[in-house]
Amino acid sequence: MTFDRNPSADRTEPLVGEHSAAFVVQMPINRTPAAQTPVASAPTADSPSGLDRLALFDGSVPGVTSQLVPRADAATPNVLMLETAQFQRMDLPSALIDRIAVSDSWASASEFFAQGNGGCLLIDFDSNREAWIAQLVESGKSWSQISVIACSQNDSGASAMAAAKAGCIEFAVLPDRHEEVSRCCDLESAIGRACHYDMQSENSPQQFRSQWTTLTSREQEVVRYCLGNSNTKVIAKQLSVSYQTIDKHRNRALRKMNCGSLVEFASLLYGKSAAT
């Protein structure tokens, strides 16, 4: 299931927006067969499902910095998951098991994607839902721009809407061990759309993450103040520097983000065109 603010718009990919905004769930649910669904890019004759385009991992490994390193280049999508007692990597469709790595925490997953890696994160939306929602909202405030798929065994509109409002870009119904093949295709399709969105959409989250990490901590701080409706002189007083220094930090930050103005930066951050 793909989330979009405007169900009448002609879109083929999910959107990420402010976590406080209202979302509309596109209906009916898209049950596209996996053979027609690209994972990060168009399928090929040798790989109709596109699954071999995902990074190949050695298995469940803790952490990120030292061990969670996919055998892939920066253009290869990575799928991470946060396991719970009811949401285990080995219970996923067999075609996906070797293509998914288990991160030991949200912080580790965030660090992994902040390093310029592209892809998506699977979470169990049936267990500790309120905690996940709080984490998603906090992640939105920190501008981490992680592309999250909410996974559930409950195929309900209420669950999908809760995931959308929290900031997930996809909602996937999990197959059980005896589930029909179509449900496996649903999860593969959701992963494909999420990876494509994260890495290849216009103003992709991966691009934002990669550029944002090039800013110094002070440049990031100044941009946050600027988007918080503080003028240059107010920011300068709060940070005990001159307003000329604030202007320099803001302008350097915008250049690093390839933005000509704060309006353009906000458009990049919230996935909107500058004209809307």
Q: What is the mean pLDDT of residues 6-22?
A: 35
CA–CA distance, 249 with 251 (Å, rounded to integer): 6
Count CB neighbours of 202 within 10 A.
10
pTM: 0.71
List CB contacts of 115: < 8 A, sequence separation 6 or more: 64, 213
235-246 pLDDT, tens digit per residue, is 999 899 999 999
159 token code pair: 């669950």
**Model confidence band, residue 210 (pLDDT cutoffs 50, 70, 90):** confident
Per-domain boundaries in the chain? 3-205, 214-270
Cβ pair 170, 9 in contact under 8 A: no
Identify the residue whose tokens are 């409950």.
Answer: 154
The CATH label, of 3.40.50.720, 3.40.50.300, 3.30.360.10, 3.40.50.2300, for the domain at 3-205 is: 3.40.50.2300
Q: What is the mean pLDDT of residues 157-184?
A: 80
Tell me whether the omega of the peptide bond preceding residue 28 falls within 30 degrees of 0, making it cis: yes
Mean pLDDT, all residues of the chain: 74
35-53 pLDDT, tens digit per residue, is 333 333 333 434 434 455 5
**What pLDDT was estimated at residue 28?**
27
Which is more confidently placed, 257 or 24? 257
8 token code pair: 């009448």
84-113 pLDDT, tens digit per residue, is 888 888 888 777 788 888 988 898 898 889
**Model confidence band, residue 207 (pLDDT cutoffs 50, 70, 90):** confident
Which is more confidently placed, 255 or 45? 255
Work out the percent of the chain whose per-residue pLDDT is above 90. 32
**Model confidence band, residue 11 (pLDDT cutoffs 50, 70, 90):** very low
Closest residue by Cα to residue 195 from 122, 134, 139 = 122
Q: Which of the 8 DSSP states describes residue 134?
A: H
**What pLDDT was estimated at residue 178?**
55
Burial label, 148 (beta-carbon count in 10 A; 0-12, 13-18, 19+): buried
Residue 164 has pLDDT above 70, yes or no: yes
Which is more confidently placed, 81 or 67? 81
Closest residue by Cα to residue 258 from 219, 208, 198, 204 = 208
Residue 259 has pLDDT above 80, yes or no: yes
**What pLDDT was estimated at residue 25?**
26
Determine the topology of domain 214-270 in CATH.
Arc Repressor Mutant, subunit A (1.10.10)
Asked whether the domain spanning 214-270 has the same topology as the one spanning 3-205, the reply is no
Q: What is the mean pLDDT of residues 45-68?
A: 46
β pairing state of 3-4 and 170-173: unpaired
Residue type at 76 in one-letter notation:
T
Alpha helices in 82-180 (DSSP H): 94-97, 106-114, 129-141, 157-166
Least confident range of 68-82, 112-126, 143-157, 166-180: 68-82
Which of helix, strand or coil describes residue 70?
coil
Residue 8 has pLDDT above 50, yes or no: no
